[in-house]
């Protein structure tokens, strides 16, 4: 696969919405929740980037959650993240309970500044909120020729291997590294088999079956029904059950927790508030890393490009599905969106947005009537 490839658009089930209309809609909804200005814009950019990359589980599908948190005042609408401690290439930051993207942007920008001075920047924060896709922050570093990494802990929604009790989050791992001519290695993944939002999207689309290793019911037993996952159940760690390597996913979840919650002094494990509750602040821990590859062997982008192309050109087991490099599926989705002049959504997703708009008293002007 090359970065020129693109996903096919299904005009029967899908619709294209301009980024300008989407941005305006998100900002109007956030304004109703008391969030305006730069903070609202940062969140809007993060959500639309997620959908543009094809990660609908973390895009405007979750706008209603941010709106709810803001309206319940469990997330602060004004303020600035604060550097608590800094030493050389490291910093510890208090997010002051602001929107996750506001905290995340502050921290990654700080990590990049330190990487340019010291060769590496390592910033950990406490008291943050859901920050959208981790790739948004890693990409910021990558665009400047750096290797970027981003991690966050999340609400306990995962059954560790062998447990009937949820105590870990889906805890994403992300690394972006620059290749040549805009190409890159771009890994952005949950430590679970799938993100929780992917099951939410499946349920919202009316799907009644999900693959094995995705989720478990309220007793911790694997299930193929999205509603059983959402109704008191939870996710399985990457790999699923123990026999298929789920203990490795459990280890990755815990590794991210060490880098975020433990190192950041935030809530961690079972102590993080339950998903979509507002009885206490989220107090998420997050970790942002930027590395200057020029501190090491010269020619990093050239060698990375050779490695990526070598992988793409391996003999495929199925010619219709050749080997891919992390980031290729997202590039194919973005190329499709670029060709169509907007972001592609399933038409059923508009029903969810319409419900939110009606609750907030916002007129939804995302598509022309003839296109619905």
Same domain, 124 and 183: yes
User: pLDDT digits over 75-123, tens only?
Assistant: 999 999 999 999 999 999 999 999 999 999 999 999 999 999 999 999 9
Q: Which of 314, 337, 334 lies closest to 324, judged by CA?
A: 314
Of the pLDDT bands very low, low, confident and very high (cuts 50, 70, 90), residue 57 is confident
The CATH number that applies at residue 243 is 3.30.1370.60
Is residue 369 in some structural domain? no
Is residue 313 in some structural domain? no
Predicted pLDDT of residue 369: 53
Same domain, 128 and 241: yes
Residue range 48-68: average pLDDT?
Answer: 95
Which domain does 38 fall in, by range?
3-74+331-360
Predicted pLDDT of residue 359: 96
Of the pLDDT bands very low, low, confident and very high (cuts 50, 70, 90), residue 1 is very low
Do the Cβ atoms of 100 and 66 come closer than 8 Å?
no
Chain centroid offset of residue 169 CA: 13
| Tokens, residue 265 | 């002094």
Same domain, 69 and 201: no
Is residue 68 in some structural domain? yes
Structural domains in the chain (count) = 2
Predicted pLDDT of residue 86: 98
Q: Does the structure show a pLDDT above 90 at 205?
A: no
Predicted pLDDT of residue 371: 52
Is residue 279 in some structural domain? yes
CA distance 148 to 136: 10
Q: Are strands 90-94 and 120-128 parallel, antiparallel or unpaired?
A: parallel
CA distance 293 to 152: 23
| Tokens, residue 169 | 């989050």
Same domain, 204 and 284: yes
Same domain, 41 and 157: no
Same domain, 38 and 165: no
Same domain, 124 and 244: yes
Same domain, 62 and 91: no
User: pLDDT digits over 267-296, tens only?
Assistant: 999 999 998 899 999 999 999 999 999 999
Q: What is the pTM of this model?
A: 0.94
The CATH number that applies at residue 29 is 1.10.1530.10
């Amino acid at each position: 696969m090359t970065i020129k490839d693109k996903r096919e658009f299904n005009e029967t089930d899908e619709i294209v919405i301009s980024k300008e209309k989407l941005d305006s809609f998100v900002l109007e909804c956030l304004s109703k929740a008391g969030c305006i200005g730069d903070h609202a814009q940062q969140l809007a950019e993060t959500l639309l980037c997620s959908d543009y990359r094809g990660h609908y589980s973390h895009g405007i599908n979750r706008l209603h959650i941010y709106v709810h948190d803001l309206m319940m005042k469990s997330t602060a609408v004004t303020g600035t993240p604060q550097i608590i401690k800094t030493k050389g290439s490291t910093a510890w930051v208090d997010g002051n309970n602001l929107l996750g993207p506001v905290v995340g942007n502050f921290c990654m920008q700080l990590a990049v500044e330190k990487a340019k001075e010291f060769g590496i920047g390592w910033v950990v924060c406490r008291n943050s909120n859901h920050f959208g896709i981790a790739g948004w922050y890693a990409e910021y570093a990558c665009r400047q020729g750096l290797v970027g990494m981003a991690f966050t802990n999340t609400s306990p929604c995962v059954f560790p291997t062998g447990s009937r009790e949820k105590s870990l989050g889906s805890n994403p791992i992300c690394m972006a590294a620059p290749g040549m001519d805009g190409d890159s290695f771009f890994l952005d993944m949950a430590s679970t088999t799938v993100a929780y939002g992917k099951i939410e999207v499946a349920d919202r689309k009316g799907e009644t079956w999900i693959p094995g290793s995705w989720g478990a019911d309220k007793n911790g037993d694997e299930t193929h029904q999205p509603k059983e996952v959402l109704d008191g159940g939870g996710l399985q760690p990457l790999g699923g059950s123990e026999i298929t390597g789920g203990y490795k996913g459990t280890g990755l979840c815990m590794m991210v927790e060490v880098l975020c919650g433990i190192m950041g002094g935030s809530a961690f494990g079972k102590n993080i508030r339950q998903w979509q509750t507002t009885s206490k602040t989220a107090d998420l821990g997050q970790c942002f890393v930027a590395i200057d590859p020029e501190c090491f062997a010269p020619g990093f982008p050239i060698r990375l490009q050779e490695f990526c192309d070598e992988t793409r050109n391996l003999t495929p087991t199925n010619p219709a599905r050749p080997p891919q490099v992390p980031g290729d599926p997202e590039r194919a989705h973005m190329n499709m969106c670029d060709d169509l002049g907007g972001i592609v959504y399933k038409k059923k997703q508009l029903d969810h947005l319409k419900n939110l708009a009606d609750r907030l008293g916002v007129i939804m002007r995302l598509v022309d009537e003839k296109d619905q």
